[in-house]
Every structure is written in C-alpha cells, then in structure tokens.
C-alpha cells in the first residue's frame, strides 16, 4: 500500500470513536485481569489473556474477533458456566448474587424441546428455577403475545419457522428476569431475511425490557448495527484491543442504522487487527 493510501486509511478510521471504559463508573459486570487456559492431552491452550471488561447497565455491547480467539470462553466465564481460573468478575446487582440467575445465555441452536409445546418450553426455566409464580407466568405469556407468539403457544416447536423458534428461545431466556442477556451467535443459523427480522425483534425486546446485552457475532454489520459499543478482540491468546462507540440515534430501526453507519470503515478497523 502506498504511504498516501495508508495515511488516508488511518485518517478515515480515526472517525470511529473510542468508548472509554471508566472503571470508576458503576458497571453491572466488571471482569478484571481475566486469563483462561484449557488443558488437554495435547497440551495447554491459553485462550484469554488479561481481559478487562466493564459492561454498564442498559448497555448493548457486541464482541467481535477471529474464530477460535476465545469469545465463547469469555461469555461462559461471565455466565458462570465456566469457573474463573485467574482474575475476577464482579457483578453489581441488588437482588441477585449468583451469575446463573443474573445472566441468561442464548446460544446459536435454539435447544427447544420438541415434545413440549411452545408455552411449556417458555415456562421451563421458571420450573427449573422454582420461579413459576402466577406473576412470572403472566410476564412470560405477555411477552409471548407481545412478540407475536400468541397464536402458537399450544403448538410444538416443529410447527414454527426458524425465526419464530428463535423468538421462543429468547422469550424463554428472559422469562426469569435476568439482568444481563448473553447472546452467542444466536442468528447465524437463520437465512438472511429471517435474520433481519429476528435481529430487529431481539433489539426491540432488549430495549423495551431495559436489559443489558452482550452479543457475540462474526457478522460485523450485525455487531455494529445492533450494539451501542463494539469490543474488538485480538487473536488467541485473546485480549480486548479496543472498544468503539456506534453512536446510533435513539429508537432507530436496524434498516435506518444500516443506511447511516459507515460499514466499510468498521470492516477495515476490525479486520486490520494484526495482533
């Protein structure tokens, strides 16, 4: 690349605004100096190195990074599915102390049970967590109706489209009032059009229900358009290279955001990460 072109590229990328993570501002989740290793017969894998991550209440953060760098490891640590080996994770929530109650985790596969109706799938976490009170059942059913599942509550998952199944999975995930929603590539199995619709539904639900959300995705457009802040991870052993603000106007749809954001700048900023 010529010097002139390189300078132009740097200048262009400076337009993206850094999101300052102030450790003195009250975070809902604060991971400090996290490292994570996997051990197997073939040796040690150093997955995460020196991760510092503040997530503020009500924020929608997306995380992008090369395949295999440790994104799933990071959210598994946050959710409490994996035990912290080195470093700390602080959770700031008045009434919930266990990360498993505090955070809800939605995966790529919807993991709906085929022998249970949509209604019974949605209510399952409330049963498991012994939270099946009339108020919580009403909250879950109201959500189902509000987001277009009212006519499908007595159907089996196989009778639903892929997008509707994801919606059921999402409502099931949030029925127990988690404070933080962790989403690990939840849209990657959907076709383009369904994906756009479900992304918008999920964004509406997160904003309307005032949840804090962390989205892991390989799709840069999705990461940028859905989130308030994008965290860029390096290759393994991964750390977070930088946090960038998306500066979307409030109450804009994903289509409006897609038209407004300079996606090519985001692509070059994210893919220029070398270390």
Stretch that binds ligand ATP, among 19-27, 37-45, 50-58, 95-103 (CB under 6 A): 37-45
Residue with tokens 């007595």, as numbered in its chain? 154
Q: Would you say 64 and 85 are in contact if contact means Cβ atoms under 8 Å apart? A: no
Closest CB 219 distance from ligand ATP, rounded Å:
11
Instruction: Tell me which of 13, 45, 188, 194 binds ligand ATP, using CB under 6 A.
Output: 45
Number of residues that bind ligand ATP (CB under 6 A): 13
Closest CB 107 distance from ligand ATP, rounded Å:
11
* Binding map of ligand ATP across residues 70-109, x = CB under 6 A, - = no contact: xxxx------------------------------------
Residue with tokens 């977070």, as numbered in its chain? 240
- Residue 207: its H or E element: helix 192-208
Nearer residue to Mg ion within complex by CB, 118 or 220: 220
Shortest CA distance to 162 belongs to which of 141, 186, 179? 186
215 binds, among Mg ion, ligand ATP, none (CB under 5 to 8 A by kind): none
* Binding map of ligand ATP across residues 214-253, x = CB under 6 A, - = no contact: ----------------------x-----------------
- Residue 245: its H or E element: strand 240-245
**For the stretch 92-107, what's the b/e string if a residue is b when 16 or more beta carbons lie within 10 angstroms of its beta carbon?**
ebeeeeebebbbbbbe
Stretch that binds ligand ATP, among 65-73, 93-101, 135-143, 256-264 (CB under 6 A): 65-73
């Amino acid at each position: 690349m010529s010097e002139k072109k390189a300078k132009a590229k740097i200048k262009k990328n400076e337009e993206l605004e850094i999101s300052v993570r102030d450790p003195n501002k009250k975070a809902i989740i604060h991971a400090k100096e996290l490292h994570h290793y996997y051990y197997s017969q073939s040796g040690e894998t150093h997955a995460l190195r020196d991760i510092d991550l503040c997530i503020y209440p009500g924020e929608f953060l997306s995380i992008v990074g090369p395949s295999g760098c440790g994104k799933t490891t990071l959210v598994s640590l946050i959710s409490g599915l994996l035990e912290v080996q080195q470093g700390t994770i602080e959770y700031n929530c008045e009434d919930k102390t266990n990360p498993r109650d505090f955070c809800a985790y939605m995966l790529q596969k919807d993991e709906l049970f085929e022998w249970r109706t949509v209604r019974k799938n949605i209510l399952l976490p409330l049963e498991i967590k012994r939270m099946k009170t009339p108020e919580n059942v009403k909250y879950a059913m109201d959500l189902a109706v509000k987001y277009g599942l009212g006519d499908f509550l007595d159907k089996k998952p196989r009778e639903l489209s892929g997008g509707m199944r994801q919606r059921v999975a999402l409502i099931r995930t949030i029925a127990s009032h988690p404070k933080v929603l962790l989403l690990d590539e939840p849209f990657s199995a959907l076709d383009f059009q369904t994906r756009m619709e479900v992304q918008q539904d999920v964004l509406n639900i997160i904003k309307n229900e005032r949840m804090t959300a962390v989205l892991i995705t390989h799709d840069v457009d999705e990461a940028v358009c859905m989130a308030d802040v994008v965290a860029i991870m390096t290759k393994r052993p991964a750390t977070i290279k930088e946090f960038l603000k998306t500066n979307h106007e409030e109450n804009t749809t994903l289509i409006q955001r897609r038209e407004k954001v300079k996606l090519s700048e985001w692509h070059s900023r994210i893919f220029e990460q070398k270390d």
